[in-house]
Each structure stands twice: as C-alpha cells, then as structure tokens.
C-alpha cells in the first residue's frame, strides 16, 4: 500500500492563517483568561500590516527548505511576527518549541515516507529488471517457438500430405475389401447351400438309421424273449436231467449192493470174476469221472452224455444178466 503524505507547506502545517481571510493572518497565541482559556486569540493582522508581509516572506523561506533543515531560531523569528504585541508576544518561545515539535514530526513522517518510497522504488526497479529479464526470456522463447512452429508447420504439411496419400490408399483398400467381401459372401452362400443339402441328406440318413435301429431293437427284443424262453426250457430240461441223474445214482447204489452179492457168487469162477472185475472197475472209474464233472448247460451235451451213460449202464446190465444166466 502506497504511503500518501501532504507536501511540505509551513503555512498549512503551523496553521498560521487560522480562521482569517485570504491574505490575512490570525494571532497564534492562546488565551489564558478564565473566560476564554485554551482558545486561540482572535486578533487578525490584515494584508497591509507590515508583520503580515514579513510572515509571508518567512513562510516562503521555510517552504524553500527541507523540514529537517528548519531550526528553532527560524521558528522563533516567525513566532514573533505571528503574535499580537499586546497580549501574547511573551508566548513566542513556547510557540516556537511547539512548532518545532510539529516540524520535526512532519520531517520524521516525511523521512519514513521517503524511506518507504525508496524501498518501493528499489523493489519496483528490481521487479522491472526481473520483468525485463522475463520479457527477454519470453522473447527468446517466442523466437525459438517461432522456429519450432515453422518446423511444425512443415511437418504438419508433410503429415497432411501423408494423410491424403493414406486416405487414397485406404479408399483403394476399402474398395478391394468390399469386392473381396462380396466374393466371400457369394462363396459363403454357395457353401451354405451345399452344407444345407448335406445336412438334409444326413438328416434323412439319420432318420433311416433311427428307423432301422428301432426295427433292430424290436428284433433283438423278440430274440431276447425267445432266448429267455429257450433258457427257461433248458433250465427245466436240466432240472429233469438232474433228477434222472439222481435216480441213476440211486440205481447205482442199488446195483453196487447187488454187485457185492454177485461178487460173492462169482468168487467161484476166478477167470470170469477177473474179467468182470476189470469191467466193473472200469465202469466205476467212468462213473466217478462222470460224477465229478460239472453239469453242462447245453441240452445236446447233456442229452448225449445221458444217452452214453444210459447206454453203458444198459450194456452193463445186459452183461450181468448174461453172466447170471451162465
């Protein structure tokens, strides 16, 4: 914030004129009477008064000096001219000292203002130098930027040219791609048509295969049903053969007992007994083998084995019967 101070004006600072009209002065004395104590004297010195003329000269002389150069003697001489002779002349020394304090205060304020202004001036000078340096730097940067801008403009022109060429190439590539896309589209349509035909043919084949599978399933179900029935029949026949085997076993036990009796009878005939004993041993071994073998499932084998065993058993009975007759 700038410090504002009024210019050095002794007339205004010391209030020489007081309430007087232009060109006149008012006595600067202070009333001491009880009635008007502390008020300024109302005596005026008019324009044509000699003291008034001297006061004007003194004020001009003081105004030409700096406030710090004004002395107490200068103010005392001025005070003698600004007091009325009759009542307040004796106050000249006090008035001079009072004015001196006012002048010294103004000088101090003026010095502070000048110091502040000098500091501000230095700051503004430094700021101006900094601003000038920044301006020079900015001008240098502007010059460099101008060169860069020129280079960028040239590059931009080249980029614009490249862009134009790229757009032309892109347009050509786009046209070629559109042609290829149309070709691919036509080819895709043909491929789709062939694919649809093949899919339809496969669907027809699949339907025929499903029909055939259904027929085969029915046929297999029928065969399985027939096989189940045959298995049941074979199981029944196997059970029947087991019962026959059990009967034959029981008959074998009976025959074994009878054989023991016959052996007692045949001991008298050694030759016949030896031959028959060999046959009985052979028959017993075959019977033991037959007894330890697992039952065969197939009907033909069971029947064949039954017929073979029954045949041997029949032959054995016939042989025994013949021997008994002998």
pLDDT per residue, tens digit, the chain (326 aa), is 445 567 888 878 888 876 666 667 778 888 876 556 778 887 776 655 677 788 888 889 998 988 888 999 999 988 888 888 888 888 889 889 999 999 999 989 988 888 888 888 888 888 888 888 888 888 888 888 888 888 888 888 888 888 888 888 888 888 888 888 888 888 888 888 888 888 888 888 888 888 888 888 888 888 888 878 888 888 888 888 888 888 888 887 888 887 777 777 777 777 776 777 777 778 777 777 777 765 555 566 666 666 666 677 777 767 766 766 65
Kindly state whether residue 307 falls inside one of the protein's structural domains: yes
Q: Which of 1, 3, 12 is nearest to 108 (CA)?
A: 3
Say if residues 216 and 208 touch (Cβ distance below 8 Å): no
Whole-prediction pTM: 0.37
* Enclosing domain of residue 311: 269-326
User: In angstroms, rounded to a whole number, what is the distance separating the alpha carbons of residues 199 and 284?
Assistant: 74
Q: Among residues 111, 136, 161, which one ends one of the domains?
A: 136
Kindly state whether residue 53 falls inside one of the protein's structural domains: yes
Say if residues 113 and 3 touch (Cβ distance below 8 Å): yes
Q: Contacts from 115-124 at CB under 8 Å and sequence distance 24+?
A: 116/3, 117/3, 120/2
Q: Among residues 136, 168, 188, which one ends one of the domains?
A: 136
By the 10 Å C-beta count (0-12 exposed, 13-18 middle, 19+ buried), 314 is classed as: exposed
Q: Among residues 88, 109, 136, which one ends one of the domains?
A: 136
Kindly state whether residue 209 falls inside one of the protein's structural domains: no
User: In angstroms, rounded to a whole number, what is the distance separating the alpha carbons of residues 190 and 259?
Assistant: 96
Say if residues 92 and 79 touch (Cβ distance below 8 Å): yes
* H-type alpha helices, 267-298: 270-292
């Amino acid at each position: 914030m700038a410090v504002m101070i009024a210019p050095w004006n002794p007339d205004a600072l010391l209030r020489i004129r007081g309430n007087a009209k232009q060109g006149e002065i008012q006595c600067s004395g202070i009333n001491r009477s009880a009635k008007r104590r502390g008020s300024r004297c109302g005596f005026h010195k008019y324009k044509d008064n000699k003291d008034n003329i001297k006061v004007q000269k003194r004020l001009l002389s003081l105004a030409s000096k700096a406030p710090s150069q004004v002395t107490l003697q200068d103010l005392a001489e001025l005070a003698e001219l600004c007091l009325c002779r009759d009542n307040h002349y004796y106050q000249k020394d006090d008035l001079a000292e009072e004015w001196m304090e006012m002048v010294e205060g103004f000088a101090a304020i003026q010095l502070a203002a000048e110091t502040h202004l000098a500091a501000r001036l230095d700051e503004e000078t430094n700021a101006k130098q900094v601003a000038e340096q920044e301006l020079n730097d900015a001008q240098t940067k502007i010059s460099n930027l101008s060169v860069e801008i020129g280079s960028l403009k040239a590059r931009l022109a080249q980029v614009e040219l490249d862009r134009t060429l790229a757009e032309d190439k892109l347009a050509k590539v786009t046209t070629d791609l559109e042609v290829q896309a149309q070709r691919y589209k036509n080819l895709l349509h043909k491929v789709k048509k062939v694919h649809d035909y093949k899919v339809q043919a496969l669907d027809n084949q699949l339907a025929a295969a499903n029909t055939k599978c259904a027929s085969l399933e029915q046929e297999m179900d029928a065969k399985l049903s027939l096989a189940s029935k045959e298995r049941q029949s074979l199981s029944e026949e196997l059970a029947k053969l087991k019962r026959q085997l059990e009967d034959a076993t029981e008959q074998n036990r009976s025959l074994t007992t009878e054989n023991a009796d016959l052996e007692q009878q045949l001991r008298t005939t050694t030759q016949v007994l030896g031959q028959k004993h060999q046959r009985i041993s052979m028959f017993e071994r075959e019977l033991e083998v037959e007894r330890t073998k697992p039952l065969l499932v197939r009907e033909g084998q069971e029947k064949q084995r039954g017929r073979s065993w029954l045949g041997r058993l029949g032959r054995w009975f016939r042989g025994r019967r013949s021997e008994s007759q002998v």
